[in-house]
Amino acid sequence: MPSARHILIVNSRSVHQPLFVIGAPHSGAGLIGRALKASAGLHITIGQPSVLRVVYAFARRPSMYRGRTQAAATVIRDAFAQGWQVTPQSCLNCTRECRAAAGLAADAVGPCVELRGLERFGDASPDLIYCAEALTDAFPDARIVQVVRDGRDAVAGMLADSAVMSWFRPSFVNVDTEFPNPFFGVESVEDREIWPKLTPAGRCALRWRWSVRLAARLHQARPAGQLKTIRYEDLMSMPDDALGELSRFAGTAVPAAEIRNEARASRQRARSRNSPEVRGGLSARQTAEVEKIAGEELRRLGYAP
């Protein structure tokens, strides 16, 4: 049964067709979020405290909202109603990434967006994908930008990110008490049994694999025109074409500067890698483990072993 339509008013504006950017860690969702934040008339937040509290609560304990669809939707709407407020103090607690994407200096005071001309809202917070299904219950008319990337490259990015890897500390891992556990990619009893034996690369591969499976479910569940999948590789190889598609979907002109800069940097990094023992930062052994765990999803997306 579809969720009931709720009217949310923020900054004296009705929230309609909010835009959310989701993807596995290091898939490129953050890059697209930063580009969208510079778009006129669109207020994209990245890591508002009120939003992150709910995201991580639901991500790490999906049992909190399982079977409580409307209650969870209300909590999410309330979090964004607070996070999207534009006031002189609204950016003081924002993340460094959000402020930088808005072009604000570290010591700047004031909001990152002008109320005049503000038409739509959105969010590209880290790990937003882990409550994507609850998110679409909260905003049935939401537009979702879903970013996918070769799982081997995403895993290499995760392994090099201390913030991502900190979630694997024993004090945070809850695969035994919370099952199934999308945050760690544990969906079956078999996944839970092999978890203790996996290397960090294997655990990251489980997280990527779950995001791809979620992508397939969202494609089936969302009405036509409400979800746009973008490949990170297309952004890097054909940035103008990919940005054109993104702009049409988002209904606003998305600035190209940051995407083009990253595309140039990506090509330079690719040229500097000439060792057959390393693929995008992974050793041959790590690559083999990722392909063993997520090979089916890699092939389905066209990423050849």
Q: What are the pLDDT digits (tens) for 140-172?
A: 999 999 999 999 999 999 999 999 999 999 999
**Does residue 4 fall inside a structural domain?**
no
User: Is 282 part of any domain?
Assistant: yes
Evaluate whether residue 9 is within a structural domain.
no
The proportion of the chain whose per-residue pLDDT surpasses 70, expressed as a percent, equals 92
Tell whether 305 is covered by a domain.
no
- pLDDT for the residue numbered 57: 93
User: Would residue 227 count as lying in a domain?
Assistant: yes
Q: What CATH number is associated with residue 65? A: 3.40.50
Q: Is residue 181 part of a domain?
A: yes
Q: What is the mean pLDDT of residues 195-214?
A: 96
Task: State the burial class of residue 196 (Cβ atoms within 10 Å of its Cβ: 0-12, 13-18, 19+).
Answer: exposed
In 3-state terms the chain splits into helix, strand, coil percentages (rounded to 5) of 50, 10, 35
Nearest to 144 by CA among 118, 120, 119, 122: 122
Residue 107: pLDDT band with limits 50, 70, 90: low
pLDDT reported for residue 278: 46
**Cα 87 to Cα 164: distance, rounded to the nearest angstrom:** 31
Q: How confident is the model at residue 79 (pLDDT cuts 50, 70, 90)?
A: very high
Residue 197 lies in a domain: yes
Q: How far apart are CA 83 and CA 103, in angstroms?
A: 19
Domain count along the chain:
1
Question: Distance between CA 16 and CA 121 in Å, rounded?
Answer: 8
Phi, psi of 16 (to 5 degrees): -130, 140
The answer, yes or no, to whether residue 186 has pLDDT greater than 60, is: yes
Long-range contacts from 272-279, C-beta under 8 angstroms, 24+ separation: 279/152, 279/156
Does residue 7 lie in a domain region?
A: no
Q: Write out the residue range of the structural domain in which residue 79 sits.
A: 16-300
Residue type present at position 215: A
Q: pLDDT by residue (tens digit) across 50-76? A: 999 999 999 999 888 888 888 999 999
